[in-house]
Copies of this chain bind each other. A is one copy, B any other.
Amino acid sequence: MDPRIREHAETVVDHSTSVEAGDNVVISAPSAAEDLAVALHEVVGDRGATPVHLANDGRAQRAYLRAVDDENLETPTHVEALYEESDVLIRVRAEANASEQSDVSPETQAAHSRARQPVQEVALSKRWCLTQFPSQANAQLAEMSTEGYENFVWDAINKDWAAQREHQSRMVDVLDPASEVRIKSGDTTDVTMSVDGMKTLNDYAEKNLPGGEVFTAPVVDSVEGEVLFDMPLYHQGREITDAHLVFEDGEVVEHAAADNEGLLTEVLNTDPGASRLGELGIGMNRDIDQFTYNMLFDEKMGDTVHMAVGRAYDECVGENREANESAVHVDMIVDMAEESFIEVDGKTVQRNGTFRFEDGFEA
């Protein structure tokens, strides 16, 4: 087995989720990630913990969702019970066909997300990690050879996370105490929001592997302006391009997209929280240097910011602040490489992708 797979498994088990003897662990990994599933079982066994292996296969999931009536989409209370009794949830993404869910209706996908929300609540209350195995289908989606994509993925994952944490802490120090953030890019994006009283977190590859961003939650009603998400979004097997959102009092009051606007509409209509922002994130992982149609990587790219409609992470929400609640959390990305800046409390902290604390910053 490629030694990078064992290293990947050790990073998940030791760095990201701190698995210990006696822990109940859920390893959710489809067959396209077989080698990593094997390595994770080995490392979890080494640590004296007890795994169970969920398959989470795309074809089976699609078959179920195509066959079931939406009215029969119920909360899987057996899975909820499994998660309740678990200490650590590890979820490996790896597609055998990245378009597998493309002919499941957006309505059914949204109804399924709503039905699973109580399970998701339990999952988020545990130690968890979401990671990626470099399957051939994911390489194809990234328009890369399998070997090239393997190099890309493991370079981004098997790295010095202590150094990355240190680098990112400088942006946390700027954003955490701040009140107002303005994001401007070209003449298509100009949005302001308050992060007053919210907490900015440093993602150094605990819950996401790879990590590489700092993120917070906007004050729910504070978002004003418009955003053109000019980096493509791959959602439920379909690509939404040039999503354009207009915010008033925190709510999306207009939306459009060049492709798959209907899917975007369905996302925004999932529930009331789905048309408000739950996250503002700033990509800081310079090892992720190309777009691969995979949000787990794309949102961590340097020179980008992302915003998610839907659910806020509880850890970002300060006391006496309202957390945006929703069954969905859909990230969308803005390219900040050119004609762009981030302003925090009136002071420019990034211009054209370069941070104030990096070489080459132009005030």
- A interface residues, Cβ below 8 angstroms from B: 21-22, 24, 26-27, 29, 31, 34, 37-46, 48-57, 59-61, 63-69, 72-74, 76-86
Check B50–A76 contact: CB distance below 8 A: yes
Shortest distance between the CB of A42 and any CB in chain B (Å)? 4
Given contacts A38-B63, A42-B67, 15 further A-B contacts (CB under 8 A): A22-B74, A24-B78, A31-B57, A34-B57, A39-B63, A42-B64, A44-B64, A44-B67, A45-B63, A45-B68, A48-B72, A49-B72, A51-B76, A52-B54, A53-B54
Check A55–B79 contact: CB distance below 8 A: no
Check B55–A53 contact: CB distance below 8 A: yes
| Copy count, this protein chain | 2
Contact partner of A60 among B24, B37, B49, B67, CB < 8 A?
B37
Residues of B within 8 A of A46 (CB): 67-68
Residues of B within 8 A of A22 (CB): 72, 74
Check A53–B50 contact: CB distance below 8 A: no
Residues of B within 8 A of A82 (CB): 52, 78-79, 81-82, 85
Contacts A21-B72, A78-B86, A81-B85 given; indicate if A41 touches B60 (C-beta within 8 A): yes
Q: Which residue of B lies closest to A75 (CB)?
A: B50
9 contacts between A and B (CB under 8 A): A42-B64, A43-B67, A45-B66, A49-B72, A50-B76, A52-B78, A53-B57, A79-B82, A81-B85
- Complex-state Cα separation, A77 to B84, whole angstroms: 10
- Complex-state Cα separation, A300 to B65, whole angstroms: 36
- Complex-state Cα separation, A27 to B57, whole angstroms: 12
Residues of B within 8 A of A79 (CB): 52, 82
Residues of B within 8 A of A31 (CB): 31, 34, 55, 57
Contact partner of A76 among B37, B48, B52, B59, CB < 8 A?
B52
- Complex-state Cα separation, A66 to B38, whole angstroms: 11
Contact partner of A41 among B21, B49, B67, CB < 8 A?
B67
Check A77–B85 contact: CB distance below 8 A: yes
Q: Which residue of B lies closest to A45 (CB)?
A: B67
A-B pairs, top 5 by smallest CB distance, nearest first, are: A45-B67, A31-B31, A48-B72, A45-B68, A82-B82
Residues of B within 8 A of A40 (CB): 60
